[in-house]
A and B are shown apart, each in its own frame.
Chain A
Amino acid sequence: MDNKESTESWVARAYNKLTAPKTIKICGYAAMILYIGLLLIGVLIAATLHPGGYTVWDNWISDLGSIQDTPAPYLYDIACISVGILSMPFIFYQERYIAPIPRTPEELPAPHRMTYRGIGLAFFFTLLGNFFYIFVGIFSGDRNYYDLHNIFSYLTFGFYAFGTLFLGFTLMVARQQIVPRPWNFIIGPIGMVAPFTVAILNVIDSTPLREWGLLWAVMGFIIPVFLFTLRHAGKLEHEGSK
């Protein structure tokens, strides 16, 4: 084992560390607690402590990062930056276990080509969505230089909409163990249809509630997939410790 590790390149070692079940568990719980916690606290503080109040039908999500609309704008910034970073190992992990590449004869047969296509596209779009979400936090409402906040918001939601479309599709067609049957047939179609439909509604005419709707649609798919991935990582960790 030590010999094997010493022959691996640093890229392979970093990849293995990044997709280790322990990393996934740490990143997963941290991402969920930080994001959902900070988002809820941010909305509560803005709604109760700001003189103008805050509602999801009158205020954009980005208002949570503006000192003009909330006394604690940094909460949303931290939420975006942390979830953008902490979600990245997840898509690597999902890609690794949904579309494994056989390296030894024992690992054959390989999955269907459609699995590789679907997860390749999901990986690309979700990873870029995560990457741009970091910049939504960095260039928040208070630091919206050259309209960068809006540009990164469009990129984030656009890439997430495509990412969920392909991940939902792959969960349905692939023989995978992360989201077991029959859950994959419930979660998959949600990922394929809901975020993309709400994204199109936002392109046609964007309102604060529709923007919130898009976030809820993405979360409605991502959170169950996140939980199933954590369950899968927990199982792997348990098997590894035996």
Chain B
Amino acid sequence: MSAKESWVDRIYNKLTAPKTIKICGYSAMVFFFGAIGLGVIIAAVFGPEGYNIIDNWISDLGNHNITPAPFLLDFAVISAGVLLFPLLLYLEKYLAPIPRVPEDLPAPPRMVYRLMSLGFFFNCLGSLGMIGVGVFSEDRDIADLHFIFSVLLFGSFAIGAIFLGLRFSFIKQDLIPKPYNFLVGLYGICVPLPVGIIAAFNVFGETGIAKLMEWIIFLVLIGLIVPIFVSSLMHAEKQLQMKK
């Protein structure tokens, strides 16, 4: 069976194996929250002018004029951006399964494939945005690429949240158990995009709370991604146990 698989299929199967998901999931959470938390503490304590979420952009954590450890933010977003890809593939694989053998039938409704293709696409763009934000940090901001990737990151995750939210709320799935799927789903549909739009008005309008709003949309997105992440890890754990 596996000898017939193409190298693309073999890579796909490796990437979406429960073991890979567990390794990537835990690594992403430890790297991301560890490096960001440490970055904020170092900037606040050792930065020449201090650091707080009202007067500083998130991106300032990647600026050597504001923090002695700018590499921490770069590392956090690049690693999380890369490690998110297997998780997105895993989510798509289990939330929109494609029947390959008669035992896989019945197939899910068409709407599942539509929602997951959109959710997958926009979240992949968000992950790409994360990597871009880290590569072109404030210290390496060539041709305003840092800002472009930041907009891509927040915009894509906020739009992607709607499609994932619809998928979790209204169509049967076993990744997030009831009734939590309704909470997570409705949160994804109703919260990130409106907050993102308010944040965008503040950032582009250069208001006094623009920097705080950037932190708020960041925390709002974390509030959606973390429960999905944890549920996926639990699902992957179950898959591993079933194999045993």
Which residue of B92, B105, B120 is within 8 Å of A102 (Cβ)?
A: B105
When distances are taken between beta carbons in the complex, the residues of chain B under 8 Å from A101 are: 107, 110, 113
Q: In the bound complex, what is the Cα–Cα distance between A113 and B92 (angstroms)?
A: 10
The answer on a CB contact under 8 Å between A108 and B102 is yes
The answer on a CB contact under 8 Å between B107 and A103 is yes
**Contact residues on A (Cβ < 8 Å of other chain), bracket:** 20 to 34
**Known: A102-B105, A123-B114. Is A116-B121 also a contact (CB below 8 A)?**
no
Which residue of B92, B99, B101, B121 is within 8 Å of A121 (Cβ)?
A: B121
Residue B145 at the A interface, CB < 8 A?
Answer: no
The answer on a CB contact under 8 Å between A110 and B99 is yes
Residue B100 at the A interface, CB < 8 A?
Answer: yes
The answer on a CB contact under 8 Å between B116 and A108 is no
The answer on a CB contact under 8 Å between A105 and B110 is no
| Count, chain B residues at interface, CB 8 A | 18
When distances are taken between beta carbons in the complex, the residues of chain A under 8 Å from B98 are: 110-111, 113, 116
Distance between B193 CB and nearest chain A CB, rounded to angstroms: 15
Look across to chain B and name the residue whose beta carbon is closest to the beta carbon of A110: B98
How would you classify the secondary structure of chain B's contact residues: helix, strand, loop or mixed? helix
Look across to chain B and name the residue whose beta carbon is closest to the beta carbon of A111: B98
The answer on a CB contact under 8 Å between B113 and A120 is yes
Q: In the bound complex, what is the Cα–Cα distance between A120 and B167 (angstroms)?
A: 14
Residue A51 at the B interface, CB < 8 A?
Answer: no
When distances are taken between beta carbons in the complex, the residues of chain A under 8 Å from B107 are: 101-103, 110
The answer on a CB contact under 8 Å between A120 and B114 is yes
Which residue of A95, A102, A104, A120 is within 8 Å of B116 (Cβ)?
A: A120
The answer on a CB contact under 8 Å between B117 and A121 is yes
Query: Can you give 12 contacting A-B residue pairs, CB < 8 Å?
Result: A102-B107, A105-B102, A108-B99, A108-B101, A111-B98, A117-B117, A118-B117, A121-B117, A121-B121, A123-B114, A124-B117, A124-B118
